Chains A and B, each alone.
Chain A
Amino acid sequence: MDRAFWRARVIKNHLTQDPCTQTRSLSGAPCLEYSPPELAEPAAAFDVAAMRALLDGHNVAERDWLFGLMTQSKLFNPRRVGGRVFVAPDYNQSMEQQREMTMRRIEFLLERGVFEGWLTAGTAEGELRKLALQEVANMYDHSLAIKFGVHFFLWGGAIQFFGTERHHVKWLRDTENYVVKGCFAMTELGHGSNVRGIETVTTYDPRAREFIINTPCESAQKYWIGGAANHATHTVAFSQLNINGINQGVHAFIVQIRDADGNICPNIRIADCGHKIGLNGVDNGRIWFDNVRIPRENLLNSVADISPDGEYLSAIKDPDQRFAAFLAPLTAGRVILAASAIYSAKIGLAIAIRYALSRRAFSIAPNQPEVLLLDYPSHQQRLLPLLAKTYAMSFSANHLKMIYVKRTPELNKTIHILSSAFKASFTWHNMRTLQECREACGGQGLKTENRIGHLKGEKDVQSTFEGDNNVLMQQISKTLFAEYLVARKRNKPFKGLGLEHMNGPCPVLPQQLPSTVLRSDQFQVDAFHVRERDLLNRFAEEILQRQAQGERKEHALLSSYQLAEDLGRAFSERCVLQNFVEVEENSPAGSLKDMLALLRSMYALTCMEEDASFLRYGYLSTENAAAVRKEVAKLCSELRPHALALVNSFGIPDAYLSPIAFNWVEANSWSSVQH
């Protein structure tokens, strides 16, 4: 209605103007008015609630319950902007204030029963509920999720998986009720990714039946320990264990670092890591142990133990295997991160796309209203491929979570490699998406209140904590190489990790790639299989060749880093495509399935457009590559009318987006300033 009125006025102005006079009287143009996307955009072509159920995967009602809990409490800083209520922490508070607020919010959630059963329920359903609630809290504030995440998943997880019955009985309930506040002291100033190289040393005193933990040098100080600087009372400390002159490798010990009154315990020194570019609601600390004595029982002994008189005991003889078994439980962190990175991307996209559906810039024809940002093909290409990738990764994150909560020991390797691949890919995707969304919102993207820009600083750490992304991706090629050796050298078929396609003949990609072929799942899957197969073969051959020339395997792996990188990406993207195809296949025929097909094609073709491997190793000809790129542009225009429904399907309540996703004119009005 507003647009028609505006246009009528413009036309009237032209008609009533005297064309002969040279002087033009200045008449004020009608003011720019906000029009909500809902007015101009077509109604959703598919069932938005069903799409949300697919994207969230599980526990939709619980998620909404927690969203509601947070909007209804003053602790979560509700603010009225432009006639709407938004909840977000006040990031203008000092570091100390933000840390206090984070702790108080955790206490509130505890009191409301959010954490009930998190460590004591023990069912797959309970696990999924826990993951869902963590994802929602993360959408409110990253610091909040990290702070209780360290307590429940790292400290609590260590007790659960590294500890045994006596530890469970002693610590789990108190952890769930926050009687103790836990943190996780693994990383040191000198060692992060290389856990096995940490320098904290623990010895055993058989007469006192105590362990003595010590920080022998400055590089051994524990660093980045979330919760340690202000609040934590206990920690799981990782240390080399020296028994009878033999280094038995890295083990985990429970150490109390503060008493119930908050005073730091004797022989423990704690310092602050200081202000960060984000996550200032988390009190990261540094810890020095000065020959701290702890009871023998404080060794988390699921994998190895010490007898009272100091004999080292372990069922696993090989130290490498022991270490691997020890660290298998840490995959939870990677699974969680992969999923929460996607939710962060969703927030950025929901805001940027809604903004682009209401913000205009430049007319492209005389006397026409300015054009909506999202009506520009270039703007579509900036945001819609990222939207499709986010959908794709969302389905994969859910798939990973499902495997994880029902895990058996046989699935360990699969979970390890998938969680490594997805954690790396999805966190990088999130940072890229946030940057693009920030730019797409122009200056408004710089306001903390508008969330997107601020999320960049908050989420940046995701690419290096819980496993450096580059190191994680290298793990993929190493694992695939091992699979290759088993298959080729022992003449067994590839089994597991979706590598079965290597057993059949190499797919032949058609020379001509018309639209119908480009959009077929068969072609897309074949293309990804061709890439993965070829890269694995090249990578393995290069390693074997270097070894044949006398290079040590470890050195060969390092030298072949370029192929390793390409292979890691190929594997990861193939897994995501596979998961997407499954979700699409399981959908009943109808508008939702058609929508998924469109998004799946956008995902696959965008990957092909962006990965130089396809051209570099000749899986696509230059003509093919050009056709792919053209198809992506076509897909952008086909997705354009669905953009609003696609971001509505995220199910993120309005209060968790930001003012530029709604009436940003009203939000910035003078009357808003006065209230």
Chain B
Amino acid sequence: MASFSSSNGQEDQVLVEEKSFARTLILNRPEQLNAATDYMISRFLELLLLYEKDSNVKLVIVKGKGRAFSAGGDVTSAVHDINSGKWKSVAIFFRKNYTLHYLIATYSKPQVSIMNGIVMGGGAGCSTHGSFRVATENSVFSMPETALGLFPDVGASYFLSRLPGHFGEYLGLTGARLDGAEMLACGLATHFVPSAKLPSLEAALHTVDSSDQAVISAIIGEYSELPMLKEQSAYHRLDVINRCFSRRTVEDILSALEREATNKVDGWILASIQSLKKASPTSLKISLRSIREGRLQGVGQCLVREYRMVCHVIRGEVSKDFVEVLQLIRRLLYSLI
């Protein structure tokens, strides 16, 4: 589990398939759940920039190898750097990451992300900003940063804040997990395709010869389904979520949830309260404010602001929570060698 990725074999971390006018980028670090290394981000960025200018490329497809799309950024090297006082190289990594997300958000050609598995943190950044997001029955989405003393970044203050009602605050503060059906329902995914049909979908996408969004949407639509939300889904209770997570402060949100819990004991309410109580309090407040400000800003402004915020966090200026968590992870990793 420890990542001692050597420099040779790095190229394999991102595989590329060229089929007619489509280019498929495959995140290939399945043992590490496709956690993105500095190399992967750079390569992804490089390829996207190349494809934008290449008139032979009409469509970009992104997917992950194994049971994850991507579980986020690879924190292990970050751990080492922060502990040895080299926060700046970590900042550079974040900056590159956010630049990639901005490029995806403003890309002039359609991007189809096939999220057939875990999509967390940075993995959301590489997919959610794109034009088409395909979820499957294997998808698991989460922005778990508040439990780590960080805050939902990668432009999450932009895309979470634009989810219906205050569902974005709910996801960002509690780190709640969504399945594929829920991702479609709230708009994080644009389509839901059963994993068995993915090979046919990809084959159909390979025949595309234009960048017309309507054409691509129609193709994906042919393989799409409208899955039922599971009965206990929190998304059924958007009214309660909106009532609680629209409150002004984290304290008010927590007390609103506790009040709801006395009326009716839904599992997700108790889980939410637990998550909020376990998370870093500073993280929660920063995250709430970030999402609220992001609601009124463009994606570029959000990423610029998040970058500034993350620099403060990794320097330990805000609180020691994130640094402590990283140290914990480091000790854990070393204990597994």
Contacts and interface: CB of A to CB of B under 8 A. Distances in A.
B330 interface: no
A174 interface: no
Interface residues of A, number: 16
Contacts of B161: 68
A64 B247 contact: no
Interface of B: 161-162, 164-166, 242-243, 246-248, 292-293, 295-296, 298
Given A71-B295, A72-B166, 14 more contacts: A62-B248, A64-B296, A65-B248, A65-B292, A68-B161, A68-B292, A71-B296, A72-B242, A85-B162, A111-B243, A113-B247, A113-B248, A654-B296, A655-B296
| Interface class of chain B by DSSP | loop
B296 A72 contact: no
B293 A72 contact: no
B246 A69 contact: yes
Contacts of B292: 64-65, 68
25 contacts: A64-B292, A64-B293, A64-B296, A65-B248, A65-B292, A67-B296, A68-B161, A68-B292, A68-B295, A71-B295, A71-B296, A72-B164, A72-B166, A72-B242, A72-B295, A73-B165, A85-B162, A111-B243, A112-B243, A112-B246, A113-B247, A113-B248, A653-B295, A653-B296, A654-B296
Interface string A634-675: 000000000000000000011100000000000000000000
Contacts of A65: 248, 292
A654 B295 CA distance: 10
Contacts of B293: 64
Q: What are the 3 closest A-B residue pairs judged by CB atoms, nearest first?
A: A653-B296, A68-B295, A72-B165
Interface of A: 62, 64-65, 67-69, 71-73, 85, 111-113, 653-655
Contacts, number: 32
Would you call the interface of chain A mostly helix, strand, loop, or mixed?
A: helix
A62 B165 CA distance: 18
Contacts of B296: 64, 67-68, 71, 653-655
Contact of A72 (B246, B247, B248, B298): B246
B157 to A, nearest CB: 12
B249 to A, nearest CB: 10
Contacts of B242: 72
Contacts of A655: 296
A328 to B, nearest CB: 33
B140 to A, nearest CB: 25
Contacts of B246: 69, 72, 112
A642 B242 CA distance: 39
A111 B243 CA distance: 8
Contacts of A71: 295-296
B210 to A, nearest CB: 15
Nearest to A68: B295
A62 B252 CA distance: 14
A653 B166 CA distance: 18
Contacts of A72: 164-166, 242, 246, 295
A112 B244 CA distance: 9
B163 to A, nearest CB: 9
Nearest to A651: B296
